Amino acid sequence: MLSCKHIVDLGTDYLDQELGFWKKTEMKMHLMICRHCRRYMKQLKQTIAMLSRWQLKQPTQEQLEQLKSKYQQTVSEG
Amino acid sequence: METQPLPSEKELVARLKNNDVALFDQVVKEYHSSMYAVAYAIAGSSIADEVVQEAWISAINAIHKFEGRSALKSWLIRITANEAKSRLRKESRSVSLEAVNENWATDTRFTQRGHWAEGNPEWDMSSPDELLSADELKDCLKKHIDRLPDNQQQILNLRDIGGLDMETICNILQITASNARVLLHRGRDKVQQVIAKFQRTGEC
């Protein structure tokens, strides 16, 4: 039987569909009866969604201006 | 911060080819962060900025040839990864799976039998917008992500922040897909734990 700790450990494999049939089935059954692990899986998805939206680093004004003038110049020349 | 969503891919590309500077400005702001994450992970912090600028310039020079067979963002990320790879950092990069397994053995969230020691409560803040609106939490996450082992940090940057696909990541880092998933999961799990603790205690 998979423990909660195992379930937590397999989170990414489960989401990426990388588990074999039996592991996946075991995990599904565990998630049906364990709300803590269900929450963990929900939170893992929320974590990933947050990371993908996180604007960690914005361009500086100087970088932006440099790129814009390069863009204008290049694209208008065709 | 720009909140206006970008137009559809087709319109986006057509307008970019047609000298739409305002839209270009928006595109740079929207995708810069992901490109930076990829450049940082592959080439290191000292030249990441330079790599991203170079990648944008390559993209500008090639935009008229872009046919839209992939999403614009994927195209930009690929250009960034290539640019970064050509200037790959030289430091050694061993995959420290041993440390990873050691941490696993002593994870205090679980009892010896592997049950949740104190359960796992629901989060009050859960949407990306809610989570990203808490500056204190973001500072806390940055601190913890910085402290992750090199490999975990790289994969988190490449996959989740940069949006690069796993196959490309494995090629860049020269590791197997299963090792990559282990490292990625440890990084994600750490981020989950930091958010969970912050929501429970209000502390970093």
Mutate to test the interface with A, among B16, B116, B125, B184 (most CBs of A within 10 A): B116
Task: Indicate yes or no: CB of A3 within 8 angstroms of CB of B18.
Answer: no
Find the mean pLDDT for residues B131-157.
93
Query: How many residue pairs from chains A and B have C-beta atoms closer than 8 A?
Result: 141
Confidence at residue B96, expressed as pLDDT on a 0 to 100 scale: 56
Confidence at residue B92, expressed as pLDDT on a 0 to 100 scale: 47
Which of B56, B104, B120 faces A9 most closely, judged by CB atoms?
B104
> Do residues B28 and A55 make contact, with C-beta atoms less than 8 angstroms apart?
no
Confidence at residue B172, expressed as pLDDT on a 0 to 100 scale: 85
Confidence at residue B1, expressed as pLDDT on a 0 to 100 scale: 47
* CA A50 distance to own-chain centroid: 8
Which of A37, A48, A57 faces B160 most closely, judged by CB atoms?
A48
Instruction: Give the bridge partners for B110, in sequence order.
Output: B116
Question: Across chain B, what does the average pLDDT equal?
Answer: 89
Question: Across chain A, what does the average pLDDT equal?
Answer: 94
Choose the weakest-confidence range: A55-59, B12-16, B103-107. Answer: B103-107
Distance from CA of A60 to the nearest CA of B (A): 10
Residue B91 pLDDT greater than 70, yes or no: no
Task: Indicate yes or no: CB of A56 within 8 angstroms of CB of B156.
Answer: no
In tens, the pLDDT along B151-196 reads 899 999 999 999 999 998 998 888 999 999 999 999 999 999 999 9
| Domain boundaries for CATH 1.10.10.10 within chain B | 97-201
Q: The domain B9-85 is classified under which CATH number: 1.10.1740.10, 1.20.1250.20, 1.10.10.10, 3.30.1330.10?
A: 1.10.1740.10
> Angle B177-201/B135-147 helices, nearest 10 degrees?
140
Query: B29-61: buried (b, 16+ CB within 10 Å) or exposed (e) per residue?
Result: ebbbbbbbbbbbbbbbeeebbebbbbbbbebbe
For residue B61, the chain A residues in CB contact (below 8 A) are: 74
For residue A11, the chain B residues in CB contact (below 8 A) are: 185, 188-189
Domain spanning B97-201 has what CATH number? 1.10.10.10
Q: If we measure between CA atoms, which residue out of A39, A28, A36 comes closest to residue A4?
A: A36
Q: If we measure between CA atoms, which residue out of B102, B196, B106 comes closest to residue A36?
A: B196
